[in-house]
Structure 1
Amino acid sequence: MNNVFKFITNKKDYTLHFQNVEYTKNVFERFYLHDVMGKEVEFLPGIFYKFDLKNSFLLKSLLSVLCLYNGGSQLIRILPKVLNEKFGKRIITIQFKNIRDSYSFFIDQEKVYENKKKFQGKDEAKFQYEYEYVKGEPEYLEIPTEKMLFPCRTGGEGTRCSLKGVFRDEGIFTTSTYGDYYMFFDEYEMHCLTAYSEEVRAICKMCNNCMKTIELMKAGRFIGPTKGNDSDCLTVEEYDGRYIIENGNHRACCAKAFGIRLVEAKIHKYRSTGELCQEPEVIKGVDNQKMLDSFYMVFDEKGISRLIVNQYLETDGTDIGLIKLLKVI
């Protein structure tokens, strides 16, 4: 798919959805500095654009005459700008060089470009339909860990979650309330990564609490929940054979990352209502400059040039590639 678009903005409306944030034509044009007309500007990580202004022969002639009288009056000084805005053709060229993030670009409300993040396991957490709770006694069963989704929250860090502590220190772990900050990893993505990278699991191995839990599980000495004695047990919600962790995130994460095939759990069942889930609403009013700055700040602090970062965004884009570039592992 073509990743470069060039069109006259006087006649077209356009919108970009990036990390669930909406950026409109007005946001782009307010951000652009008129004194760099014709030069490429980076709007968001790996997304570049530039404006060119083209005038008719008649308008060029009129503007050249007005320039001769530039100091004549306030009206004459502002008239060229007014004429350019009214009759000049503003041409935008926008180029997408970011294959890391998920985003969509629309021209006149038609989606003309889309990139989906290269992340294994991320789509597992998406549900197509709404669900409702099935009333009744919970079940106590042994369930396959491969059918459990990775945790969205584990609480704490350091001795409780070494991975979260390391990612936070590196500036690449962000909570869901990230605001104007670029989101490198949410917690779900961070834990998914452990299943696909031995190098990331090496960080987990530094956590004594997690390694002790894994040792007990592998030896069959981990005490699972039993009816009437399920305090602080591994509890899950079942959705058509998939399990979302309700309690016991650390144990579930350990089991999934280190190959524990089966775990005992208390199960609350949910059933599909048949109604489609609503698409998440895009956020408005997020400052693209702040998001751009927060992205590059992480690399600047490690002395990694923007040229190298842009090469990563355009040619690699993977989460493993990111943490290797940052020398997290």
Structure 2
Amino acid sequence: MKNVFEFITNKRDYTLHFQNAEYTKNDFECFYSHEDVMGKEVEFLPGIFYKFELKRSVLLKNIVAVLCLYNGESQLIKLLPKILNEKFGKRIITIQFKNIRDSYSFFIDQEKVYGNEKKFQGKDEAKFQYEYEYVKEEPEYLEIPTERILFPCRTGGEGTRCSLKGVFREEGIFTTCTYENHYIFFDEYEMHCLTANSEEVRNICKMCNNCMKTIELMKEGRFIGPTKGNDSDCLTVGEYDGIYIIENGNHRACCAKAFGISLVKAKIHKYRRTEELRKEPEVIKGIDNQKVLDSFYRVFDGKGISRTVVNKYLETDGTDVGLIKLLKVI
């Protein structure tokens, strides 16, 4: 699929969905109008570039030229060239997508013409198509394979509780959903998925004494899991068609998954699938693309990494592991 689109915008609508935010034709044109960038390539969002050009007939060019000779005569004459250009000039936009890291979709006249899905460990497993309901029965207490447990979506705390979150926050690459005008490098689920693919990230985890003690006990078989009637320090999961989502014990499950503990004891609540399809998350409107763009490059500027290098990463690598190596987090 081609990654460059050129079309006349006068009578066509277009929309970009980027990291669950919506940017409309008006957002693009307002961004362009703030600067004198006619005919120049502009980066609208990380790795997404566009260029506006105005094509005018010979007659329109001559009329505008004459009006410009008298643009000091009145306020109306000053505005007429702009009005005529908007009304009769052909506004041509060229949009080029050079970002293979992020999830986004581009629509022209409500038809999706381009899209990219961010790829990382565990993403497909985490996306459930249907809704589920709780099965009201006694929970089971079993040993379950850690490979069937999804990574944590939230662990709480940082520092001694989660060194990984503390380091990522300090580096400016851990973002919560409350920061709407910021670029999202990692949500918590993605951050923990990365531990399965990067020895550099596991080295961060090794700095956490609490986590390493837990791993040591698990490997030696001395970690006592829950038993019926004794739920203290309990790893609790919900079972969804054979996949387990952590309900309590995020740190313990994360340690087991990241450091190769194949089986863990857990208290299991069962959920069954309904026929109701899960709703897609609604896109957020009114997000400032300039603030998103600035927050993205601020992380690299602080480390002296040029935008040329960053753009090359977005276009040719785009992986989370590649990002960690580029930023030299460790």
SS at match of 2:68: helix
Residue of structure 1 in register with 2:73 after alignment: 72
Distance in 1 between residues matched to 2:195 and 2:53, nearest whole Å: 46
* Aligned partner of residue 36 in structure 2, secondary structure: helix
* Stretch deviating more after TM superposition (61-70 or 216-225): 61-70
Q: What letter corresponds to residue 42 of structure 2 in structure 1?
A: V
Match of residue 269 from structure 1: 270
In 2, Cα distance between equivalents of 1:322 and 1:130:
34
Matched position secondary structure for 2:253: helix
Shift of 1:121: 1.5
Per the alignment, residue 28 of structure 2 pairs with 28
State the match for 1:156 in structure 2.
157
Displacement over 6 Å in runs of 4+ = none
Partner Cα separation in structure 1 for residue 6 and residue 130 of structure 2: 38
Note the C-alpha offset of 1:78: 1.2
Aligned residue in 1 for 2:259: 258
Give aligned pairs, total. Answer: 329
Map of 1:221 onto structure 2: 222
Query: How do 1:6-155 residues align onto structure 2 when only pairs under 5 Å count?
Result: 6-33=6-33, 35-155=36-156
Give the C-alpha shift of residue 129 in structure 1.
Answer: 0.5
Displacement of 1:64 in angstroms is 1.4
CA deviations over 1:277-315 (Å, ceiling 9, x no partner): 111110001111110110011011111111111111111
Partner of 1:165: 166
Judge conservation of contact 2:99–2:318 (CA < 8 Å) in 1: yes
1:92 match: secondary structure: strand
Q: 1:5 maps to what in 2?
A: 5
CA drift at 1:275? 1.4
Look up the equivalent residue of 1:302 and give its one-letter code.
Answer: K
Give me the whole-angstrom Cα distance separating, in 2, the residues matched to 1:317 and 1:178: 22
- Match for 1:75: what amino acid? L
Q: CA deviation at 1:161?
A: 1.0
- Of the structure 1 ranges 114-123 and 285-294, higher mean CA displacement relative to structure 2 is found in 114-123
Alpha-carbon distance in structure 1 between the residues aligned to 2:78 and 2:54 = 19
Task: Give, in whole Å, the separation in 2 of the partners of 1:194 and 1:121.
Answer: 11
Q: Which residue identity is paired with 1:15?
A: T
2:320 alignment counterpart:
319
SS in 2 for 1:135: coil
Amino acid at match of 2:31: F
Q: CA deviation at 1:274?
A: 1.7
Structure 1 stretches of 5 or more lacking a match?
none
Q: Which amino acid aligns with 2:73?
A: G
Residue 305 of structure 2 is matched in structure 1 by 304
Q: Are 2:121 and 2:196, in contact at CA under 8 Å, matched by a contact in 1?
A: no
Q: 1:250-280, CA deviations, whole angstroms, 9 ceiling, x for partnerless residues?
A: 0000001111111110000000012111111
Counterpart-to-counterpart distance in 1, 2:51 and 2:174:
32
* TM-superposition CA deviations, 1:180-227 (whole Å, max 9, x none): 000000111111111111221111111111111011001110000011
| Alpha-carbon distance, 1:70 to partner | 2.0
The letter for the 1-side match of 2:142 is L
Per the alignment, residue 240 of structure 2 pairs with 239
C-alpha deviations, 1:45-87, integer Å up to 9, x for none? 0101011001111111111121222222222221111111111
Moved more, 175-184 or 11-20: 175-184
Q: Secondary structure at the match of 1:99?
A: coil
CA distance in 2, matches of 1:81, 1:199: 55
Alpha-carbon distance, 1:176 to partner = 2.2
* AA aligned opposite 1:268: H
How far did residue 11 of structure 1 move? 1.4
Identity of aligned residues (%): 85
Tell me how far apart the structure 2 counterparts of residues 202 and 315 of structure 1 sit (CA, whole Å). 26
